[in-house]
Amino acid sequence: MRHKNPLCIYPYKQELKAFGFLPPIGIEYIASAIEDIVDSVKIIDLRYEKKPLSSFIDKKTDLVLVSYNWGFEERLVKDTINSIPKNITVILGGRHATEHVEELFENIPRIDGIVRGDGEVAAREIVQKGISRDIDGLSFRLNGKIVHNNNRRLEPVRSDYFPDRKLRRYKYMVTFDEFNSDIQIDLILGSRGCPFNCKFCDFKFNPLGEKRKWSCRTPESVISEIKTIEAEVIGFADDIFTADMDWVERLCDLLIKEGIRKKYLINARLEVAKRPDVLKKMYKAGFAVFLLGVESAHDKTLASMNKGFTVAKIREYFEVLKKFNFIYHCYFILGNIGETRGEILDIIKLSHELGMDTLGLSILRASKYSPIKEIVKQLDDYHIEEDSGKVYSDMLSIDDLQQIRRDIYSSFFTIPVILRILRKLIIHRFLTIGRLSKIIIHIARKKIQKMAKKRNSTITIKELKPIHKI
């Protein structure tokens, strides 16, 4: 065995979004994949650590695996990697690492290798062989040059193993805007890939631009994993959980039969409304939050996206969905090609009419493998922001779109909408009197701090302002 004491690192200090709580399930899969062939393996999530990374590296540490999924906090990630002693092999993996192999090797000299694409089997082979030309999906330094081995074949999701949560050093709690709740949450993967072909989306591709065929685990294996999870709330990390509603039904039957009482969050398609029989079982089994991609309030845009439904169908689906007390968080894209400011603002009317509970608004992006990138290239009046990949036009700038987002949020969250959300949170036991009181205290404290900061700023300005002109 080449390596016996690997250290797995999630190298970020900040949360990706205002919501923060999600365990780094990707690096946990890697650690669990090699656990049985090493002497010891540790997972370090820098978001939760106050000690420096060096305190977790000892004389036995011979391999560091870094999960580089997102392109933010670049300086922190770079400094973290460069701080690792030179006698230890450093391997990167993850979506961002896969998409930026050449530039990462150039910018971070300390990197020995990068695993492109799926990492579980590659990690096992690295542990056993070290860096080798025989490991598919591995890029590495050799005599001053970068060697790229063959791409690794896309495999279906496996049912025979899942992350070992005993390797965790932390409990992951739901947090929002610096508010820490007492609700523990976890992630689970029931399927991989997506069978749909929405034009704006690139998550159906792996980081190498290859289409991943949808595959699912056996319902029995999912149940086995859920039984190892302590958290009361579980989010399914599937790109699309409801691709096969017969599979969903079998899973619900097992959850009900086993008497497992937890709450579940899922990514779903609006077409779930075609199966009210399964929706009834899902409600009984504990499913609570549906994340639904609506994307636009206009047929012309939905057609250009290849979404597969019209606004009339959306209305039809919601007539069914409103019969169930699921929490519906609906995604819309701002700045869709050809939509005016007024057409974007139609989201407000549609969301109110249909009874959506919360909204997720994002600016259209043209990421590396998104078909949108090629479409924008052919349009003189549309452009792509270099750093973020956000799409804007001569008609609507990024600042305009961000202001539209603020306008929609402020218009959507009316008193009736807030009361409906609170009612559903209580129904699903997410919200109790104790939790509500803590939230109110947190909001009041933040408000006081904001007012105090504003007052101090005003006083400082007054103090600096000259009384007399000379």
377 belongs to a structural domain:
no
Let me know whether 342 and 266 are in one domain: yes
Let me know whether 280 and 416 are in one domain: yes
pLDDT at position 463, please?
55
Let me know whether 78 and 225 are in one domain: no
Let me know whether 130 and 236 are in one domain: no
Let me know whether 132 and 211 are in one domain: no
Let me know whether 306 and 258 are in one domain: yes
Let me know whether 424 and 441 are in one domain: no
43 touches 28 (CB < 8 A): yes
Alpha carbon of 383 to those of 27, 145, 200, 209: distances in Å? 35, 35, 15, 22
Record the pTM: 0.90
Nearest to 91 by CA among 62, 55, 71, 70: 62
86 belongs to a structural domain:
yes
32 belongs to a structural domain:
yes
160 belongs to a structural domain:
no
Alpha carbon of 172 to those of 48, 140, 165: distances in Å? 10, 34, 11
pLDDT at position 469, please?
41
Beta bridge partner(s), residue 147:
140
Let me know whether 123 and 204 are in one domain: no
pLDDT at position 293, please?
95
Alpha carbon of 281 to those of 56, 218, 286, 338: distances in Å? 46, 18, 9, 41
379 belongs to a structural domain:
no
The residues, ordered by sequence, that sit 6+ positions from 407 with a Cβ below 8 Å of its Cβ are 345
297 belongs to a structural domain:
yes
Let me know whether 68 and 129 are in one domain: yes
Let me know whether 25 and 134 are in one domain: yes
Domain range spanning residue 470? 436-470
Let me know whether 412 and 451 are in one domain: no
CATH number of the domain where residue 251 is located: 3.80.30.20
370 belongs to a structural domain:
no
* CA gap 314, 273 in Å, rounded: 10
CATH number of the domain where residue 88 is located: 3.40.50
Radius of gyration of the chain (CA): 24
* CA gap 122, 16 in Å, rounded: 27
pLDDT at position 388, please?
85
Walking along the chain (470 residues) 10 residues at a time, the average pLDDT comes out as 94 73 92 97 93 93 96 92 96 93 95 95 96 96 92 89 94 81 94 82 64 91 97 95 97 98 97 98 98 96 93 97 97 96 97 96 86 88 91 96 97 95 93 80 76 67 47
pLDDT at position 386, please?
86
The residues, ordered by sequence, that sit 6+ positions from 355 with a Cβ below 8 Å of its Cβ are 318, 322, 328, 420
Let me know whether 249 and 200 are in one domain: yes
Number of CB atoms found within 10 A of residue 75's CB: 7
Q: What is the dihedral of CA 379, 380, 386, 391, to 10 degrees?
A: -50
Domain count, the chain: 3
Nearest to 192 by CA among 205, 179, 201, 181: 205
